[in-house]
Amino acid sequence: MTENRDQGPNEKQRARDQWTGDPAGAVYGREHEFGTREFFDEVERHRYEEYAPWMPEVMGFKDFAGARLLEVGCGMGTDLLQFARGGAEVTGVDLTPRSIQISQKHFALYGARGDFAISDGENLPFASESFDVVYSNGVLHHTPDTAGAVREIHRVLRPGGLARVMLYHRGSLGYWGEVIIRHGLLGGELLRGNSPADIMGKYVEFNEGGGNPLVKVYSRREARDLFSMFSEVNVQVEQLTRPEFYFLERIIPDRVFRRLQRSIGWNVIVSARK
């Protein structure tokens, strides 16, 4: 979680500023005109082939045919479109109006069906027990009341429904190597009185517009505790790339690297059954 940073109402405005000026993932399609088919194709290719090839299987894009699925924090609609292609009946909500506009255009461009709404993840505009699946990837660690957002997910899920949520991992190489050692110690941020949360807001989700959003991290145990009101909770770790090891990247055996992905990766993925 975050340390020594105000988590008041301004944090939500910071988040809007961040992703209005710099939609998540847009940088990977920058060689193409924004919002074109070529743009979205390249964003998708990078996400699932280079950045996180594990994601389609682990997140289960093809596993929810016929289910009513909600994504909290849908961004540009990249993941949500995969669930729609897999046969789910999808709804996307996002705090940022521009994200909703982009997602609607994205779906229309590919002839996909989906419902969208501007919404705060801590106050979902849906009746209780409305969805079979609630998905959220890299979003709830940016909201001030993450536990409240998890309670909302639990509320809108039907009995037996599934929540699948990704949060940043406190035990990751990214957190200790980049945030604490590189920027905190070697970069002098900790000596200047900045907390790890301040450093993450400055470097982890950096954009030129200066959005500086709230960013939290969770251990496996903390992530599991967040979902304690669910009847069944499973936690796994993913997301590590070879370049993060610098000069060692070429000499780490594949089997060893896979073990490292599952222990010090940047993502904690929670699958929780109501």
In the predicted structure, residue 126 carries a pLDDT above the cut 80: yes
Instruction: Please give the Cα distance from 259 to 132 (Å, whole number).
Output: 32
* 3 located within any domain: no
34-50 pLDDT, tens per residue? Answer: 889 999 999 999 999 99
Confidence at 209, pLDDT banded by 50, 70, 90: low
Cβ–Cβ under 8 Å, residues 121 and 147? no
Extract long-range pairs of 173-181: CB within 8 Å, 24+ residues apart. 173/240, 173/244, 173/260, 173/264, 173/265, 173/266, 174/244, 174/266, 175/217, 175/266, 177/244, 178/203, 178/204, 179/203, 179/204
* 1 located within any domain: no
Confidence at 266, pLDDT banded by 50, 70, 90: very high
Instruction: Please give the Cα distance from 92 to 107 (Å, whole number).
Output: 11
What global pTM score does this model have?
0.90
* 4 located within any domain: no
Give the mean pLDDT of 147-172. 97
* 256 located within any domain: yes
Q: Residue 80 maps to which CATH number?
A: 3.40.50.150
Range of the domain at 242: 10-273
Confidence at 4, pLDDT banded by 50, 70, 90: very low
Confidence at 197, pLDDT banded by 50, 70, 90: confident
* 5 located within any domain: no
* 29 located within any domain: yes
Domain count, the chain: 1
